[in-house]
Amino acid sequence: MSDSDKAASRKDYTDVRVRLPNRMIYKIEELRKEWGLQSRSSVLARLLEELLLDDKDNLES
């Protein structure tokens, strides 16, 4: 995470509640520890960023 990401204000974000099966939560928790992240939401954000970047690349091809 860059310094500019850390400095972003709370107004740049929206809280979202997601209902997931426990098996997914366990996997998210494993990834959180593996990646050294502080929260599950950071894991979900990273996964979504990768997914959305992949979609953008595919659309440009």
pLDDT in tens, 24-51: 999 999 999 999 999 999 999 999 999 9
Region 14-26: mean pLDDT is 96
Can you give the pLDDT at residue 11? 85
Residue count (the chain)? 61
In terms of Cα–Cα distance, which of 46, 35, 40, 39 is closest to 24?
Answer: 40
Global confidence as pTM: 0.69
Q: Which residue has the higher pLDDT, 60 or 18?
A: 18
- With a cut of 70, say whether residue 3 has pLDDT above it: no
Least confident among 15-24, 38-47, 49-58: 49-58
In terms of Cα–Cα distance, which of 28, 60, 61, 30 is closest to 45?
Answer: 28
